[in-house]
Structure 1
């Protein structure tokens, strides 16, 4: 067997055993997660209807992300990046369908093949341009979320990790 795969398999097995020792079996304790926001978006969008639905176009609106001062030291060096990946909660989403009809479409699609906010876990992902930082506030371009949307995490966008030129557009590339 490949030594790298063998090492990976041993590591995965050890991790699984460690998790079971902490949490018991899946039947005894199904996994659940609780997240607390680290901040919130401030955007021009006060209602869901006001958010542009430009499939295939990057959003251009400016806004800010206000980080809770308790997390401000975690922003050290963030201004050295041009773009950020922001993980947020679709806090107004209540529906959890497994199939949706995307804007501008007539056909149902599996929710995991769309960017719909209505998902089993209402978690969103947005790449924004970082314009500047002022203390615990990040000024950004490219927002398309409601004002007050809770921010769960921020990561730097790294061109050599996050850009995939070979990626396809799935059903979005089909003629309507």
Structure 2
């Protein structure tokens, strides 16, 4: 495989949310959304309600892929430049989003989740259970991470992104 070889994926469903686009970043920690799977994939949800949280992988269809490999984290020029792979955000070579969400309920093809920071009609690529193998408590982050929190953030220092 060459680095310019295409990778093909299929959406398995779409996000449904009534949260306005402008409010998603501010409300991402509390917002509730639905993921509606396409009929062909509903059987794959068997057993999902045994998990309290799921990992949602989505295609950020509105993001513009970037060729920039050095960026300012969070788009904040007061922060030191870093490699794009050391920064969260939309400016990656591939517009793939990932969110650990709380699974609130499942009704047919519809999963209701909390903390999915995706726009209405965002394509869902995959869903995976979140389990204890995904939990790390002794993590290292750059010093600026806690010092330059987003203004909308109410989380305590060291509690994650």
Which ranges in structure 2 are unaligned for 5 or more consecutive residues? Answer: 149-161
Task: Figure out how many residues of one structure are paired with residues of the other and give that number.
Answer: 145
Among 9, 15, 40, the residue aligned to 1:35: 9
TM-score by length of 1: 0.73
1:70 aligned counterpart, secondary structure: helix
Q: Does 1:89 align with 2:59?
A: yes
8 Å CA contact 2:57–2:99 kept in 1: the answer is: yes
Q: CA deviation at 1:53?
A: 5.1
Supply the distance in 2 between the matched residues of 1:112 and 1:171 (Cα, whole angstroms).
17
Task: Give the corresponding residue for 1:102.
Answer: 73
8 Å CA contact 2:34–2:112 kept in 1: the answer is: yes
In the TM superposition, what are the counterparts of 1:1-176 in structure 2 within 5 Å?
Answer: 26=1, 31-47=5-21, 49-52=22-25, 59-96=29-66, 97-103=68-74, 105=76, 106-107=78-79, 108-159=81-132, 161-173=133-145, 175-176=147-148
Q: CA deviation at 1:109?
A: 2.7
Higher helix share: 1
Supply the distance in 2 between the matched residues of 1:102 and 1:174 (Cα, whole angstroms).
13
Cα deviation digits, residues 140-172 of structure 1 (max 9, x gap)? 11121111111000000002x100111122344
**Superposition RMSD in Å:** 2.3
Which ranges in structure 1 are unaligned for 5 or more consecutive residues? Answer: 1-25
Question: Structure 2 vs 1, CA of residues 86 and 174 (structure 1 numbering), >3 Å: closer, same or farther?
Answer: closer
Q: CA deviation at 1:31?
A: 3.5
Supply the distance in 1 between the matched residues of 2:114 and 2:121 (Cα, whole angstroms).
16
Supply the distance in 2 between the matched residues of 1:172 and 1:72 (Cα, whole angstroms).
42
Supply the distance in 1 between the matched residues of 2:136 and 2:126 (Cα, whole angstroms).
22
TM-score by length of 2: 0.79
1:103 aligned counterpart, secondary structure: helix
